[in-house]
Amino acid sequence: MTHERLEQGLIQVYTGDGKGKTTCALGLALRAVGQELKAYMIQFMKGRPTGEAAAAARLAPDFTIRAFGRPGLVNLRSPAPEDLDLVREGFNLARGIIMAGNHDLVILDEINLTLTYGLLPLDEVLELLRRRPPWVEVVLTGRAAPPELVELADLVTEMRLVKHYYQAGVLARRGIEW
């Protein structure tokens, strides 16, 4: 069964040092699913089970999340070969999902840092964004969005850190950060 497509898919970038980039993208996915659109999120450099993945499973097949990462942080200045392989695997899936055009909203979560630190070639990602089907909306999240991506995007939102409870020693909390 087919559904009504977006008239025009745009490119959105959520970046900056403040909290909320992934959360904002998840809110957009929830809104899209509520309007009978299909959403797919590919998470880069994230490997532990999350609340959003469990929630998406309850919304399947309208919302899918696939994570490509190992538990813990990636050394961005000197990534392990396994981390590079996972980033590439995630991007290959993203390319297939976007170009197939079966999902109205595709979120590339935490891809910005992979671009800034050269874990993925920026030109490949920009080319994919330029060649995507016209109805596919793509959201790219993560700190340090490259200037070329900011230039190509139709919307750029920068999350600015004003105050964060991490500074007071509050660690990541189940259901809030993951």
Angle at 160 between CA 158 and CA 163, to 5 degrees: 160
Tokens of 84: 């590079």
Among the four given CATH numbers 1.25.40.10, 3.10.20.740, 3.30.300.20, 3.40.50.300, the one describing domain 11-168: 3.40.50.300
- DSSP secondary structure letters along 87-130: HHHHHHHHHHHHHHT--SEEEEETHHHHHHTTSS-HHHHHHHHH
pLDDT at 176 (0 to 100): 84
Which of 53, 82, 55 lies closest to 69 in space, CA to CA? Answer: 82
Does residue 132 come out as left (phi exceeding 0), alpha (psi in the -120 to 50 range) or beta? beta
pLDDT tens digits along 41-90: 999 999 989 999 999 999 999 999 999 999 988 999 999 999 999 999 99
Hey, is 43 helix, strand or coil? strand
Tens of pLDDT along the chain (178 residues)? 467 899 999 999 999 999 999 999 999 999 999 999 999 999 999 998 999 999 999 999 999 999 999 998 899 999 999 999 999 999 999 999 999 999 999 999 999 999 999 999 999 999 999 999 999 999 999 999 999 999 999 999 999 999 988 888 998 888 888 8
pLDDT at 89 (0 to 100): 98
pLDDT at 117 (0 to 100): 96
117 φ, ψ (degrees, to nearest 5): -95, 10
pLDDT at 15 (0 to 100): 98
Tokens of 113: 């840092």
pTM of the model: 0.94
pLDDT at 2 (0 to 100): 63
